[in-house]
Amino acid sequence: MRKRLKLVMILVFLGAVLYYPLMEENEYRLFVMNRGLIHAILASGLVFLTGFAGQISLGQAGFYAIGAYTSAILSTSYGVPIPLSIIVGVIFSVVAGLVVSVPSFNLKAFFLSLVTIAFGLIVHRLIVNLQPLTGGTNGFFGIPPMRWAGSMFTSNMHYYLFLGILAATVVSMYHIKRSYLGRAMFAINDDETAAESCGISARKAKVFAFAFSGALAGLAGALYAHFAGFLTPEPFVFFESSRFVGMAVVGGLRHLWGGVIGGIGLTLLPETLRLPYAGWENYYLLLASTITILFVVFLPRGLGDLASKALDRLWKVEGATKTLKDATVVDDSEAGADDASLT
């Protein structure tokens, strides 16, 4: 019964996720959901970097921007096919991740965070100042949209594409987490000195973590470029980097689904609070930020951990009920046997 209930819940959840764009009539809400899926991909990379490997990054907007502008420039100015331009954008982000990983060999915590902040600021200033290449503050327009069989992607097609990439991201993280490299990263996160004394190479683990995280951020940026159709420097400022960190923390840094829950949840939260009342537009973002702070304070392990515990408790209650019933049946049969022997 417990396995059947679990299977039914999973099937209902998957059905709702897959059916959502078909029943959503509001194009803006579907647009926001697609943005949430992109943010979930990026936030999953932060969960991998910070939650698994213990490395702090407050410059993810820099990797996000590299992937976005690389793919946009190649596809628009040089006519490179979109899939290839996205791959090149991811490669450039991986290279940037490898470069940023070098200071992590000797720097930790606060000092490493300053390096990543500086990286994000450098990328942002390059976007603003290299106006002939990036459009600067005027924006980069005319980015070609993704197409299938000659037709431009619809909102539903974007949804299923982003959902598939996000699912592949979670599956990849799951297998890495259970591999030797994943266990090595968790060991380094808990105690780097003890891990190295056991023969684990902290440098290799950190390099891989930064490269993987940078790849996901670059992929998210490239997808966003062709999804939005234009780029401006605003989505790549330091505030966005801190927002991505907030998504990972609220979702749960040590939980596999933390980036998914936090990325989608914190993207939808402000839109959910945007109510049609006069003057409310000045306060709904303040309320959204307050709710985020409350999540961090009262749920430091994240919503992913809370959801996991709730599901585990549900399975255990069901299992305990079944065990109690079995024990009652056994006791009744034994009591009947004793009565028969006395007779």
Structure confidence by residue, pLDDT tens digits, 15-36:
989 999 999 888 999 999 999 9
Residues 222 and 215: beta-carbon distance below 8 Å: no
**CATH number belonging to domain 29-300:** 1.10.3470
Question: Rounded to an integer, what distance in angstroms lies between the CA atom of residue 130 and that of residue 106?
Answer: 32
Structure confidence by residue, pLDDT tens digits, 124-163:
999 999 999 999 999 999 999 999 888 899 999 999 999 9
Residues 245 and 113: beta-carbon distance below 8 Å: no
What is the predicted pLDDT for the residue at 59? 92
- Region 299-328: what's the mean pLDDT? 67
pTM for this one? 0.89
> Percentage of residues in the chain with pLDDT exceeding 70?
90
Instruction: Place 233 in a pLDDT band, splitting at 50, 70 and 90.
Output: very high
Task: Tokens 């926001």: give the residue.
Answer: 32
Residues 71 and 88: beta-carbon distance below 8 Å: yes
Question: Rounded to an integer, what distance in angstroms lies between the CA atom of residue 93 and that of residue 96?
Answer: 5
Domain boundaries, the chain: 29-300, 309-343
Give the chain's length: 343
CB count in 10 Å sphere of residue 159: 22
| Mean pLDDT across the chain | 87
Residues 56 and 231: beta-carbon distance below 8 Å: no
